[in-house]
Structure 1
Amino acid sequence: MNTRHDMNIWPGLSYNDPIAQRQWLAALGFGEGICVDGDGPGEVIHSEMLWPDGGRVMISSVCKTDPTFVTPTGSGSVYVVVSDPDAVWTRAIDIDATVVREMRDEDYGSRGFSIADPEGNKWSFGTYAG
């Protein structure tokens, strides 16, 4: 399976400050996808951030008018397949991301690390693509 085109699973995470989260993800290397504003200031009903190696993540406000898909802040964990983990690691350090697991090589052939975003969700980046 070609992971660059495997975009059929999109995790969704809710944030108190989704605009700041989108900026944080952009600093790590995510591309800006659509962003649909809500009724209140800083409210995001739906947005997408695109990973250059393939895949997307949806970011929204916890205060959405439709709470059907709202998740508690800090409850998410996302694994991102990356072709150059060292470059992403450098960007993570540059933005003072909270390190959960240092960069390391795994027995199963992956190289990667884990960080927490400003609202507590865990983001792991590694070369293991299944």
Structure 2
Amino acid sequence: MTSEIRRTFYPLIRSADPGRTMAWLESAFGFTEVAAHKDDSGTIVHAEMRFDTGLLMLGRADTPPASVYVAVDDPDAHHDRAKAAGAEITSPLVDQDYGSRDYAARDLDGNTWYFGTYRP
């Protein structure tokens, strides 16, 4: 019987050249590519890499530097709780084209937190 790991937290790092960073993470640390999503010009805008049981998300450098993605089962309730507590919602609840429903908020120190149903 195989047990699937239910991940919740996904660190999100930024890179000026995600393709180069992915190649380096593979060469230097042994990460393996899970997914690489590109825009119309072929530039990687979001990628996922695995190391053992962990998963790292990688984005472009033109977005906030410190961030974490957290998978939640009920993003609407989570959003409402955060908003009621005074969280600064930086991206409203939205249904993404890849199937996730998510939102983003900024914490007291300016870090960005993404919450959604997507579990890579």
> TM-score, length-normalised on structure 2?
0.48
